[in-house]
Amino acid sequence: MQPFELVEPGTLREALALLDADDARPAGGATALMLMMKAGVLRPARLVRLAKLGLDGIELGASGELRIGATATLRALEKSPLVRAGWPAITRALHTLSNVRVRNVATLGGHLAHADPHTDLPPLLSALGAVATVAGRGGERRLPVESLYAGYLETTLKRGELITRVDVPALGKRRAAYLKCTTRSADDWPAVGVAVVLDGERQTIFVSAATDRPTRLASADAVDALEIEGDLHGSAAYKKQLIRVYVKRAIHEARSAAG
Amino acid sequence: MKRAAQPAETAQVGRSVPRLESWLKVTGRAEYVHNLRLPGMLYGKIFRSTVSHGRIKRLDVSAAQAVAGVYRVVTSKEVRELVPEPYYGPAFHDQPILALDKVRHVGEPVAVVLASDPHVAEEAAALIVAEYEPLAAVYDEVEAMTSNAIVHDELKPAGTFPDLKHLKGKANTNIALDFHLRRGDAAGALKGAHRVFEHRFRTQQVMHTPLEPLVSVAECTDRTLTIHTASQSPSFVRIEIARLLGWPENRIRVRVPFLGGGFGAKLYIKLEALVSVLSLLTKKPVKISLSMEEQFFTITKHATTFRIRSGVDRDGKILARECEVWWNGGAYADIGPRVTQKSGFTAPGPYDIEHVAVDSYALYTNLPPAGALRGFGIPQLVWAYESHTDMMARELGADPVEFRRRNLLREGRPQATGTVMRDAAIEKVLDRTADLLDWKKPFDRGTGSVRRGRGIAIGFKACVSPTTSLAAVSINADGSCIVYCSTVDMGQGSDTAMAQIAAEVLKVATESIRVVHSDTDVTPYDMATLGSRSLFHMGNAVRLAAEDAVKKLDQLRSETQLPADASVKDVFRKRYGMQAGNVLGTASFVPGYTAPDANGLTDNATPFWMVGASGVEVEVDTETGRVRVTRLINVADAGTPINPRIVETQLSGASIMQLGFTLSEKMEFDAEGQLRNASLAEYKIPGFLDLPGEIVNEAVVAEQRSGPFGAKGVGETSTFGVSPAIANAIQDAVGVRLTSLPLSAEAIYMAMQKK
């Protein structure tokens, strides 16, 4: 790993200015970033630490939506009584997201912007209809979490843009579930992640891990049409079987879940 | 000290003494080589081959050398100036300190960058450019038998083992060693058998994954070389470095503090030759610490193919068994030839079979080298013969436990080599496993998509022979005692066990004994800490040395004409006029051994047998093939335990390690011999969430009469039965039989679809 500059701005404006440079990268908890730097995949000259921007709030909005600051840690989300009361599927997903040491420092913004399809919250937040607020030097824009992803480790964020907040609409009468399946050890990256939100007869299904980004499934029967590649987690045929089984099980879990 | 000292009159042996080093470890004060920093020390970073077999056409280190902060870049050219024949290895002198002319596996060390900042060394190593002329490569162990791709131009047996000498200079072969055993007439008996069964099994290449990766530091003066290393075999390191340098052994000192796991990865010689040469070239201390990724390219466990054929009579008695085993040794032999022979002769299993034939081959391939890993080849063999035995029982409609009982090798009967079984509680271990598994009781077979099954498997191992251990025990003028031995405590609890043995003889509290760690300037010779040999061999040496010390103290007491109950302090005071002096008891222990004859037969193959069985209950998800081990029973003959708690943790630890090799661990290579998963993110060892719901460990009541206080080794015993027991349970649950490890969910699911 080569030497780098570490800066800790106190305002969003400063942070955006510091990020508007070649080889600058934002750092939330940096749990994924440091691994990529150690492996030589990323060689940033400057890391802009976002911890002091005051963006770590977790609160209810006027319409009953959950407003999560981008630098809230995954552990804070997991422990939040607000989240547990209103969106218990998020709390459940967090229990098995990586491990407690990672959750203690990893942030929601970093988790989403990393764009690794094996992570747990992108499919679940996509299915829940969550919306991200993104700030750039030109101002703010809002886009569904579903639209954040362009491909494997690729987002639709532009250079110098930061996720600052994520709003999750109130669950209401909807029911949600997220299930993942690992094929080697329990702490492995999942081979398949499935998020399901049921709104009466309407099913919203997102598949991830087996796909290069969280992918909306038109129905439970649409698995065959998915483009899946085999890898060390399993062959394409096997992963399709896992998706079929886990979609069925996630729907069942959502139906029987309290929320 | 936080431990309460035990009164000396308490029996020391048979007591679950807490580990003597626990307090140091949990407070972060235990010494590890990883923490060692010496003044002026350079860090070495290895530049490694990116091809599996090739001639080095060009090696350009100029860009690396030009990086600010780089002290020096070293290639095989400089190594050769210091060591003209820079090849090392315990069985063959085949492994170059840095690649010479050719590379033979991906990840082979080619050059080293030295810098006082390890990050600078790493950055610079990435700037080295190598060009290779590709050579034909071979990866599969069975193909290596006949392949035109030849890994080594000629075989170079080390000469350490007399029975390998005839291989010297042999060319155009990848067979490092072939071992053959013939007893009776297996081919003839198979012809006359009522039923004949033949199966073929495979095991995958895996890695030891010690959480402390390999690390060595060397420092030199004009006349001496000190190596601080995480090694299981300090005595061997000294011998081998002395040979390479042409120095007498007394100019080389090898020090080993605690190890963060070994499992066979840190045996013989690994980084020690390289850091020694680098230190001598630079006249500075040099340290190399491998990353977890680099360990995958350094030492691994043999992948194997095993063809097994058995004939039974009408009563279900096994008449004959033929075994052919191919061991994938990778590019350098390491200890593979020993594995091939010393484990090979147990390939027919713990069964009383009149006619046996074994052919066992150590093969060179263009993969990272393979050596010994917790079981020394035995888990690969048990995997095959206990899957095979179970398949036979099911085909014959016999109860798998009863079928085994009918054929079991019993006390006083000859094993395949002709060596008569003594102190091997095979039947007791099998019976106890079946009892703990409630084998005879009704079993809930599950419903819906969850199907349940259970399986059992038993294996045995002959401890490697002949090997030597020496020990010394000092009684100081104040009565306190020190044990000097070169056994390495790598987490298995040997310090505590040796202290217990000495304390029992010296009639003092175990906690009051100090065990000095391996330091070849101080502690006497020991073959190595491997193959569950230390408790038996070093335990006997420590016992004898303690007895020798007591004898010498008694002599001193009688010389001073003090009464028999005079204290130790009084004896020394009387003899030397003040608190001064000490007595030093010494001993060596070498068990008897008879080398096998041309047919692989011997009347004394081993000093003791280890016996281990596992019983499991599993749940299989029929929609995904996922397996959950809900219950794991490990039963062993460990003789009479010196420390029952340590025996228990060794049994559970070894079985959990084998659980990983059974269900999830596999080094995945592509068609060019490139490793695709050299990281803990993609090579998955079991975590706490993968553990069976219940693990039961038990050592049966037994005695190894030749062992120290009836004990024998136990570090590997519960690796034996785990893999086949799980495969047997999967068949019991869902009716499919897997013959290749690991037993992945996908393999199970796909096999179920074909049914």
Closest listed residue to residue B498, CA positions, set B459, B460, B446, B543: B543
pLDDT at A70: 98
Residues of chain A positioned with their CB less than 8 A from the CB of B660: 185
pLDDT at B8: 53
Tell me whether B682 touches chain A (CB under 8 Å). yes
pLDDT at B381: 98
Following CA atoms A233, A237, A242, A244 in sequence, which dihedral angle do they give, to the nearest 10 degrees?
A: 160
pLDDT one-digit tens code per residue, A11-57: 999 999 999 988 999 999 999 999 999 888 999 999 999 999 999 99
- Cα of B206 to nearest chain A Cα, Å: 14
Backbone angles phi, psi at A55, to 5 degrees: -105, 35
Question: Please, what sign has the CA dihedral across residues B272, B274, B276, B279?
Answer: negative
Closest listed residue to residue B20, CA positions, set B498, B484, B545, B470: B498
Q: Do B624 and A186 touch (CB under 8 A)?
A: no
Those residues with Cβ within 8 angstroms of residue B541's Cβ, 6 or more apart along the chain or in another chain: B469, B470, B471, B485, B587, B588, B589
pLDDT at B6: 46
Give me the percent of chain A exceeding a pLDDT of 70: 99
Q: Do B745 and A189 touch (CB under 8 A)?
A: no
Residues on A contacting B at a C-beta cutoff of 8 Å = 1-3, 35, 40, 181, 183-189, 232, 234-235, 238, 241-242, 245
> B62: which 2 tokens?
């100029």
pLDDT one-digit tens code per residue, B467-517: 999 999 999 999 999 999 999 999 999 999 999 999 999 999 999 999 999
Mean pLDDT, residues B717-724 taken together: 98
Neighbours of A219 (CB within 10 A): 9
Q: Do A185 and B750 touch (CB under 8 A)?
A: no
Out of A186, A187, A232, closest to residue B676 by CB: A232
pLDDT one-digit tens code per residue, A73-84: 999 999 999 999
Q: What is the rounded CA–CA span in Å between residue A113 and residue A120?
A: 13
Counted across chains A and B, CB pairs separated by less than 8 A come out at 50
Residues of chain B positioned with their CB less than 8 A from the CB of A189: 681
- Cα of B690 to nearest chain A Cα, Å: 6
Closest listed residue to residue B386, CA positions, set B413, B361, B404, B374: B404
Element (H, E) at B644: helix B644-663
pLDDT at B9: 55
- Mutating which of B624, B627, B663 best tests the A interface, going by the most A Cβ atoms within 10 A? B624
Neighbours of B409 (CB within 10 A): 22
Where residue B263 falls (left for φ over 0; alpha for ψ -120 to 50; beta otherwise) is left
Closest listed residue to residue A118, CA positions, set A180, A185, A68, A72: A180
**Among B204-208, B343-347, B418-422, B729-733, the least confident range:** B343-347
- Cα of B751 to nearest chain A Cα, Å: 12
Residue of A nearest to B684 (CA): A185
- How far from chain centre, in Å, is Cα B729? 27
Residues of chain B positioned with their CB less than 8 A from the CB of A245: 623-624
Out of B623, B677, B686, closest to residue A185 by CB: B686
Mean pLDDT, residues A121-146 taken together: 97
pLDDT at A168 over 90: yes
Q: Do B687 and A2 touch (CB under 8 A)?
A: no
Q: What is the rounded CA–CA span in Å between residue B47 and residue B430?
A: 50
Q: Do B623 and A185 touch (CB under 8 A)?
A: no
Question: What does the DSSP 8-state code read for residue B4?
Answer: P
pLDDT at B312: 98
pLDDT at A144 over 50: yes
pLDDT at B10: 65
pLDDT at B7 over 60: no
Q: Do A241 and B749 touch (CB under 8 A)?
A: yes
Q: Do A238 and B746 touch (CB under 8 A)?
A: yes
pLDDT at B342: 85
pLDDT at B5 over 50: no
pLDDT at B168: 76
Question: Please, what sign has the CA dihedral across residues B116, B118, B120, B126?
Answer: positive
Burial class of residue A169 (count of CB atoms within 10 Å of its CB; 0-12, 13-18, 19+) = middle
Tell me whether B43 touches chain A (CB under 8 Å). no
What's the full length of chain A, in residues? 259
Tell me whether B745 touches chain A (CB under 8 Å). yes
Amino acid at position A226, single letter: L
pLDDT-based confidence at residue A220 (cuts at 50, 70, 90): confident
Q: Do A238 and B119 touch (CB under 8 A)?
A: no
Residue of A nearest to B626 (CA): A183
Out of A3, A185, A245, closest to residue B684 by CB: A185
Burial class of residue A97 (count of CB atoms within 10 Å of its CB; 0-12, 13-18, 19+) = buried
Tell me whether B684 touches chain A (CB under 8 Å). yes
Mean pLDDT, residues B447-458 taken together: 98
Out of A1, A232, A234, closest to residue B682 by CB: A232
Mean pLDDT taken over chain B: 96
Residue of A nearest to B689 (CA): A186
Active site residue ranges of B: 716
pLDDT one-digit tens code per residue, B218-246: 999 989 999 999 999 999 999 999 999 99
Tell me whether B681 touches chain A (CB under 8 Å). yes
Element (H, E) at B385: helix B378-395
pLDDT at B2 over 60: no
pLDDT at B169 over 90: no
Q: Do B746 and A185 touch (CB under 8 A)?
A: no
> A120: which 2 tokens?
């747990």
pLDDT at A259 over 70: no
- Cα of B69 to nearest chain A Cα, Å: 13
- Cα of A3 to nearest chain B Cα, Å: 9
pLDDT at B428 over 90: yes
pLDDT-based confidence at residue A258 (cuts at 50, 70, 90): low
pLDDT one-digit tens code per residue, B38-48: 999 999 999 99
Element (H, E) at B24: helix B22-26
pLDDT at B4 over 60: no
Q: Do B668 and A232 touch (CB under 8 A)?
A: yes
Residues of chain A positioned with their CB less than 8 A from the CB of B681: 35, 189
Q: Do B749 and A238 touch (CB under 8 A)?
A: yes
pLDDT at B3 over 80: no
Complex-level ipTM: 0.95
Out of B668, B690, B744, closest to residue A183 by CB: B744
- Cα of A170 to nearest chain B Cα, Å: 33
Residues of chain B positioned with their CB less than 8 A from the CB of A40: 126
Q: What is the rounded CA–CA span in Å between residue B106 and residue B549?
A: 52
Mean pLDDT, residues A175-194 taken together: 96
Q: What is the rounded CA–CA span in Å between residue B683 and residue B491?
A: 23
pLDDT one-digit tens code per residue, B313-324: 999 999 999 999
- Cα of A29 to nearest chain B Cα, Å: 19
pLDDT-based confidence at residue B1 (cuts at 50, 70, 90): very low
According to the 3-state scheme, what is the secondary structure of B309-323?
EEEECCCCCEEEEEE
Residue of B nearest to A243 (CA): B624
Q: What is the rounded CA–CA span in Å between residue B73 and residue B123?
A: 13
pLDDT one-digit tens code per residue, B72-112: 999 999 999 999 999 999 999 999 999 999 999 999 999 99
DSSP notation for B666-689: ---B-TTS-BS--STTTS----GG
Q: What is the rounded CA–CA span in Å between residue B644 and residue A185?
A: 30
Q: What is the rounded CA–CA span in Å between residue A36 and residue A38?
A: 5
Out of B663, B682, B687, closest to residue A187 by CB: B687
CB contact at 8 A, B220 and B241: no
pLDDT at B162: 66
